[in-house]
Chain A
């Protein structure tokens, strides 16, 4: 059921002489052409959507025949569905402020098959594996290239992997059209950003589907891995799981943040550069956003709290959390690769201290400490190397989030020690000092203060999802 990765079959780089000035030439074929590897082999029909955005191609006989075609040649149900959903997705794309896919008829050389007009062409074929693919064909010759193309979708969407055919169409049509939108900004989106943002878009326009949640599972089961890691092996779904990061941006800032990142990427060296630049417009450091992203991810699954963090955060699988001893000394040391995080839970039963230290030969990861107990506190604390903070049973459970920004790999090294106070000097737990803090902070359940503050970030945002 995994969708095909966006594949460039375009041979733009090999173009010898463009037929149309400013457009790269390619040997592109569509399923209506006998030379296409998945050629229909019979005469194809098409259905134009009422909204005018898409043209859905199908056949009524042969191996790519769409089911549920009446004997009188009535359009297959699946084609109607795809056309309607296609229009809806285009409308939603415009509403959210994204560029629309490049129009093939405006970009293609006159000799090329553009499907007959400027509508976005969707071909229903019998996929042997996967269920959708966007195929970029012709690209602008500017740098970076932008491309127009078409999509192929499964001809039947037998509801084996999805709850219903209708939901399957919504999921795959929104996903593949988003790939076409990406190509309108530039053609070379890295896998994690390409598949991640396309998976997130499914959630944005059709929150009732659970494909997005399923795909985020690839991230949650491997949350110590760099979010922008390259694919490893042919069936690596991690890039789809990166959709959780785009969802995070959406929850905190709204979809306009992803629009802004895409626009900036159109003129930036890398997607990471674009992302960092946009985050710096909203955070004092881009790494702050990665830290907050990590905290959101911690409070998912079994740690999800009512009304906290992501909407309905319990629908996500949860991250791996190591347990730290609450009554004895420990050293917590782990790699924290770039754009990743590690998590720990600390059930403190005696007064203890925590001190981040340098790990030889490694940059130090960021360390956030969240007091989950009932004592009044001041939000979460970001510890730096050399800081020492006291915690006690009243703070339990304490959560530690080690995160690292996009630049380089790091290590978290933190020392927990049992506190024995010098009777000659009064103790100071350092958490009731003047000089800082939001007055909104107060007591609450696990991480209540964090969410009380973050709640302000979320004020005014709708909770789209109701299950």
Chain B
């Protein structure tokens, strides 16, 4: 331990060193017995994985382009379950149109039926979520977005009830392949980095190249039901976006057998 007037003396210069002692070293305190039981130790703060993320391919670009935030979203997510069908109202409106970039995504775990309490950097390294939401953006835990290996496809002109099996064509599934080999992001027509929910909707008649119709506002495309697979966990879910208003999603999903 050093008492820091030593450097202050350096700053002040010789002419102002009056009263400063020669030595700055102190003997360590003696006779210490502490209550070091781990169970009694309160953890303050945490060490995050921002640096680990930055070392991943295109990690720096991800941090900057979304941009990823180090705070966990405090947004409201209300989820109910009845007969195996989860219904959620998920508030991804934080920041509004102008301030969304400085707010984190809201992460959802379809298996637990709960909001995943992760910040964006943690989520990029976590398998504990399936979908992430911000304003009108939906990311999936795959490709450049995360290590979860989630696959997403879409069944059109159907109903939630009619979808009762997992589409078998592997080429129908998409992932969040946001960056090319040089880490340049693929962008949708309004400049948002592309996710699986863009690639599945490149032919959206409204030109949005996303899950929504754009024309006098944003609205889900009627008859679109998504299938979200988590191959590692061996589960799949059908998911319908039933409503969207100013960043607040209405969702329902159920496991497919």
Chain B contacts of A457 at CB under 8 A?
Answer: 8, 11-12
Chain A 444-467: CB-based contact to B (< 8 A → 1; otherwise 0): 000000000110110100000000
B33 in contact (CB, < 8 A): yes
Looking across the interface, which residue of chain A has its beta carbon closest to that of B10? A284
Looking across the interface, which residue of chain B has its beta carbon closest to that of A337? B50
Knowing A389-B1, A418-B35, the reply to whether A332 touches B28 (Cβ < 8 A) is no
Knowing A332-B44, A390-B29, the reply to whether A437 touches B3 (Cβ < 8 A) is yes
Chain B contacts of A436 at CB under 8 A?
Answer: 3, 5-6, 21-26
B14 in contact (CB, < 8 A): no
Find out whether the CB atom of B45 lies under 8 angstroms from the CB atom of A388.
Answer: no
Looking across the interface, which residue of chain B has its beta carbon closest to that of A425? B31
Q: Which of A384, A422, A433 contacts B31 (CB 8 A)?
A: A422
Chain A contacts of B44 at CB under 8 A?
Answer: 322, 324-325, 330-333, 344
B180 in contact (CB, < 8 A): no
Which residues of B (47-77) have their CB < 8 Å from a CB of A? 47-48, 50-51, 63-64, 67
Chain A contacts of B19 at CB under 8 A?
Answer: 438-440
**Chain A facing B: main interface SS:** loop
| B138 → A minimal CB distance (Å) | 19
**Complex CA distance for A283 and B6, rounded to whole angstroms:** 10
Find out whether the CB atom of B1 lies under 8 angstroms from the CB atom of A381.
Answer: yes
**Complex CA distance for A382 and B22, rounded to whole angstroms:** 17
Chain A interface size band reads: 35 or more
A383 in contact (CB, < 8 A): yes
**Complex CA distance for A454 and B11, rounded to whole angstroms:** 10
A282 in contact (CB, < 8 A): yes
Chain A 427-441: CB-based contact to B (< 8 A → 1; otherwise 0): 111110111111111
Knowing A333-B44, A436-B23, A436-B26, the reply to whether A419 touches B11 (Cβ < 8 A) is no
**Complex CA distance for A223 and B12, rounded to whole angstroms:** 27
Chain A contacts of B18 at CB under 8 A?
Answer: 439
**Complex CA distance for A431 and B22, rounded to whole angstroms:** 16
| A225 → B minimal CB distance (Å) | 9
Chain B contacts of A420 at CB under 8 A?
Answer: 33-35
Chain B contacts of A417 at CB under 8 A?
Answer: 32, 34-36
Find out whether the CB atom of A380 lies under 8 angstroms from the CB atom of B23.
Answer: no
Chain A contacts of B41 at CB under 8 A?
Answer: 329-331, 415
Chain A 369-391: CB-based contact to B (< 8 A → 1; otherwise 0): 00000000011111110011110
Chain A contacts of B45 at CB under 8 A?
Answer: 322, 332-334, 342
Looking across the interface, which residue of chain A has its beta carbon closest to that of B7? A288
Chain B contacts of A283 at CB under 8 A?
Answer: 7, 10-11
**Complex CA distance for A459 and B41, rounded to whole angstroms:** 44
**Complex CA distance for A291 and B12, rounded to whole angstroms:** 16
The stretch of A76-84, A186-194, A205-213, A227-235 in contact with B is: A227-235
**Complex CA distance for A422 and B42, rounded to whole angstroms:** 24
Chain A contacts of B101 at CB under 8 A?
Answer: 232-235
Find out whether the CB atom of A453 lies under 8 angstroms from the CB atom of B8.
Answer: yes
Chain B contacts of A378 at CB under 8 A?
Answer: 3, 5
Find out whether the CB atom of B21 lies under 8 angstroms from the CB atom of A437.
Answer: yes
Find out whether the CB atom of A379 lies under 8 angstroms from the CB atom of B67.
Answer: no
Find out whether the CB atom of B35 lies under 8 angstroms from the CB atom of A437.
Answer: no
Chain B contacts of A288 at CB under 8 A?
Answer: 4, 7
B98 in contact (CB, < 8 A): yes
Q: Which of A234, A284, A362 contacts B47 (CB 8 A)?
A: A362
Looking across the interface, which residue of chain B has its beta carbon closest to that of A437? B21
A443 in contact (CB, < 8 A): no
B257 in contact (CB, < 8 A): no
**Complex CA distance for A428 and B31, rounded to whole angstroms:** 8
**How many residues of chain B get a CB closer than 8 Å to chain A's CBs?**
50
A328 in contact (CB, < 8 A): yes
Find out whether the CB atom of B64 lies under 8 angstroms from the CB atom of A325.
Answer: no
**Complex CA distance for A409 and B12, rounded to whole angstroms:** 29
| A353 → B minimal CB distance (Å) | 6
A368 in contact (CB, < 8 A): yes
**Complex CA distance for A334 and B43, rounded to whole angstroms:** 10
B30 in contact (CB, < 8 A): yes
**Complex CA distance for A216 and B180, rounded to whole angstroms:** 37
Find out whether the CB atom of A441 lies under 8 angstroms from the CB atom of B42.
Answer: no
Chain A contacts of B33 at CB under 8 A?
Answer: 419-422
Find out whether the CB atom of A435 lies under 8 angstroms from the CB atom of B23.
Answer: yes
Knowing A381-B1, A417-B35, A456-B16, the reply to whether A235 touches B98 (Cβ < 8 A) is yes
**Complex CA distance for A437 and B22, rounded to whole angstroms:** 8
A335 in contact (CB, < 8 A): yes
Find out whether the CB atom of A379 lies under 8 angstroms from the CB atom of B32.
Answer: no
B202 in contact (CB, < 8 A): no
Q: Which of A425, A428, A441 contacts B5 (CB 8 A)?
A: A441
Knowing A233-B67, A329-B41, A334-B47, the reply to whether A437 touches B20 (Cβ < 8 A) is yes
Knowing A322-B44, A335-B50, A436-B21, the reply to whether A427 touches B6 (Cβ < 8 A) is no
Find out whether the CB atom of B1 lies under 8 angstroms from the CB atom of A428.
Answer: no
Find out whether the CB atom of A329 lies under 8 angstroms from the CB atom of B11.
Answer: no
| B150 → A minimal CB distance (Å) | 26
Find out whether the CB atom of A430 lies under 8 angstroms from the CB atom of B31.
Answer: no
**Complex CA distance for A400 and B63, rounded to whole angstroms:** 29
Find out whether the CB atom of A419 lies under 8 angstroms from the CB atom of B34.
Answer: yes
Chain A contacts of B26 at CB under 8 A?
Answer: 381, 430-431, 433, 435-436
Find out whether the CB atom of B98 lies under 8 angstroms from the CB atom of A438.
Answer: no
A116 in contact (CB, < 8 A): no
A426 in contact (CB, < 8 A): yes
A359 in contact (CB, < 8 A): yes
Find out whether the CB atom of B40 lies under 8 angstroms from the CB atom of A456.
Answer: no
Chain A 175-191: CB-based contact to B (< 8 A → 1; otherwise 0): 00000000000000000
Find out whether the CB atom of A427 lies under 8 angstroms from the CB atom of B21.
Answer: no
**Complex CA distance for A338 and B200, rounded to whole angstroms:** 41
A411 in contact (CB, < 8 A): yes
- Report the 8 A-B pairs with minimum CB-CB distance, sorted nearest first: A417-B34, A439-B19, A334-B45, A387-B1, A435-B23, A232-B67, A430-B29, A425-B31
Instruction: List B residues at the A interface (Cβ < 8 Å).
Output: 1-12, 16, 18-37, 40-48, 50-51, 63-64, 67, 98, 101-102
Instruction: List A residues at the B interface (Cβ < 8 Å).
Output: 230, 232-235, 252, 282-285, 288, 291, 322, 324-325, 328-335, 337, 342, 344, 353, 359, 362, 368, 378-384, 387-390, 409, 411, 415, 417-422, 425-431, 433-441, 453-454, 456-457, 459
6 contacts between A and B (CB under 8 A): A282-B10, A329-B37, A334-B46, A420-B35, A429-B29, A437-B21
